[in-house]
Structure 1
């Protein structure tokens, strides 16, 4: 009996190109990468399918969709987490940061309960060995929210914390930098124009009082700690410059080219959303991720809210920009792993974790056929 697995006759997507070759897995690691086919007994012939590293997703809200599959139909938390885990695993995501929201601006108070339950279930299910993929915690901190800092006090030292993002969803900044678009969206959702205007005024006043002290407290809390910090929906070059000066190294979903260019000038890693690439544009009317990529302004792709979009987005990135496949796949594998300090994964190379995804193209779209995490088949 041996724990060796041989995967052969595969198009291996390596850091420097695509190689028709063979991968030997042993002890949960990649033991050897070699060109050509293996004649060893028991070698699994992948029939020329692509083999890529396991996907690393730095930001997904997918758990929230399992907790609330329909309005007013809240699902039991642990069951929702297990459903979420199964979905990311079959999508080829072997490492996932579950993005949980701290602080409410009156958009969805139930998200706070999802965060509390999710942080608890993440640790319990991981310790029980019940999860297929490797889950970590990403705290999304709403700076203008009056309840953000008390929640952060409860979770800033969570043992599975891997990333923190600073958010501001006040109308007039960030994702809602155009207040007219925000107003139209809320009116379309059923609110009266007068009610929306009152709410904008309330949120603007709340931001003026709470955003800055909350920001200072958060930065102080994580100073000197090995936890990557990101800002969410950057919209202005001056804002980006301030973030960089404060030691924030990741710009997550910049909403326009100017913000993305500023992030690049300051050496920040830039995250774009996979749904933006797959759909051909932003659902909220912000900059196209493909346009940013054509300028070299995308380092990492995150699922945002659709885990199966990750690998398809990498393929579309290659098609839309002329980027070679290795570089495109790196945006969902080695680049996010590097940004998180997870140097043991993200590439097909000897000595790294045997996290792998077998893909077969259908009409130019990559379809997941099999997934291994630590050398064990999980999908």
Structure 2
């Protein structure tokens, strides 16, 4: 059941900045009608709930050890608790469909999506999915599209993680044996499969064009991953792929912006002060206005930290920084009903201690998904 409340005393982040004002919630939405039940949140900040456009931190809840998680639904319920504790009210679970197999293989993706369908009625955080498809898998194009249709997957991102340089030189890719054994595959067979995929790369562009046309016709949001050049981004744009996830260079990010495509960067890149593998700094791209959204990537707590780092560092004000984890990703995903604390929007919000900035409560669609400490005393008192 959603809350009907009037939150008073807090500093509320509105689109143009913080304001000490009442915030009313009713029927799962923000409303301008004053509600009779009051909760005094003096000493707290109330900010829009975070929208995570790409995160794979949920994986550790699904397979902490080989064979440990038999019930995907229970793992997803545990993942929801972590998301809520980090102020995330809408989360896109980035699930691979990859030649790498194991947790990244199509069979595992099928289990994840089936498990999510089973437990979704019991969840309050809005969990969505993204299918990360490896483009060299030419024989799987039809099966992938069938999966998208069956599970009504709204977002597909195209990847290519084949170690082409090593394969082109006839070398064994690094960590091949360990990777193969981890997924229960013979290392030589695994290498043979990778070599077969690499040998057919010349067929990929011609196969991608009709695939992206078909997905676009079905209203599927599409993104590219790890673009390095303006030419790559131009090719994706021509195919209707209008989101650039984690571009590795300033050139690729600028190319996306020039064509009006959205750019999603990694929040851990901001928190670390740079990419862990030497790519362009997300802080630099944000300072140049080349970022529309930050995503958790592999670490949910980084979303909140990245927004405050950008604001504290003077890259942008708090409203601008927080929009990168709320309104910005919502807009890219076509979710026009969330991202700001304005009347008519979903009641998605996060409550922080104004001094420590610790997350004390999370409300998604008017339902409490996380509550602790002094905020719990205020709500339950």
TM-score tier (shorter): 0.7 to 0.9
Q: Give 5+ residue unaligned stretches, structure 1.
A: 35-39
Quick one: which of 355, 359, 364 aligns to 2:352? 359
Quick one: which of 167, 173, 191 aligns to 2:159? 167
> 1:232-291 deviations in whole A, cap 9, x for unaligned?
111111111111122221111001111111111111110001111122222222111111
The 3 A distance-change label for structure 1 pair 214 and 68 is farther
Match of 2:6 in 1: 6
> 1:288-309 deviations in whole A, cap 9, x for unaligned?
1111111111110111111222
1:149 aligns with 2:141: yes
* 2:91 partner SS: strand
- Cα offset for 1:29? 1.0
RMSD: 3.1
* 2:10 partner SS: strand
Structure 1 contact 273–302 (Cα < 8 Å) conserved: yes
- Cα offset for 1:27? 1.3
Match of 1:19 in 2: 19
Q: Give 5+ residue unaligned stretches, structure 2.
A: 181-187, 371-381
Q: State the distance in 2 between where 1:157 and 1:197 align.
A: 31
* 1:69 partner SS: coil
Match of 1:85 in 2: 80
Q: State the distance in 2 between where 1:108 and 1:117 align.
A: 12
Q: State the distance in 1 between where 2:177 and 2:318 align.
A: 41
> 1:102-128 deviations in whole A, cap 9, x for unaligned?
231x364654333111111222212xx
> 1:1-34 deviations in whole A, cap 9, x for unaligned?
x952011111111111111111011111111299
Structure 1 contact 30–350 (Cα < 8 Å) conserved: yes
1:374 aligns with 2:365: yes
Match of 1:65 in 2: 60
Q: State the distance in 2 between where 1:53 and 1:43 align.
A: 19
Q: State the distance in 1 between where 2:172 and 2:43 align.
A: 51
Q: Residues 190-229 of structure 1 correspond to what in structure 2 (within 5 A)?
A: 204-209=198-203, 211-229=204-222
Across the two proteins, how many residue pairs are aligned to each other? Answer: 359
1:290 aligns with 2:283: yes
Q: Residues 199-348 of structure 1 correspond to what in structure 2 (within 5 A)?
A: 204-209=198-203, 211-348=204-341
Structure 1 contact 21–33 (Cα < 8 Å) conserved: no
TM-score by length of 2: 0.84
> 1:117-145 deviations in whole A, cap 9, x for unaligned?
1111222212xx21130112211111012
TM-score by length of 1: 0.85
Q: State the distance in 2 between where 1:367 and 1:15 align.
A: 22
* 2:131 partner SS: strand
> 1:339-379 deviations in whole A, cap 9, x for unaligned?
1111111100011111110012566xx32110111222111
> 1:135-163 deviations in whole A, cap 9, x for unaligned?
12211111012453143133222454221
Between 231-240 and 139-148, report the one with greater CA deviation: 139-148
Between 145-154 and 368-377, report the one with greater CA deviation: 145-154
Q: State the distance in 2 between where 1:200 and 1:113 align.
A: 18
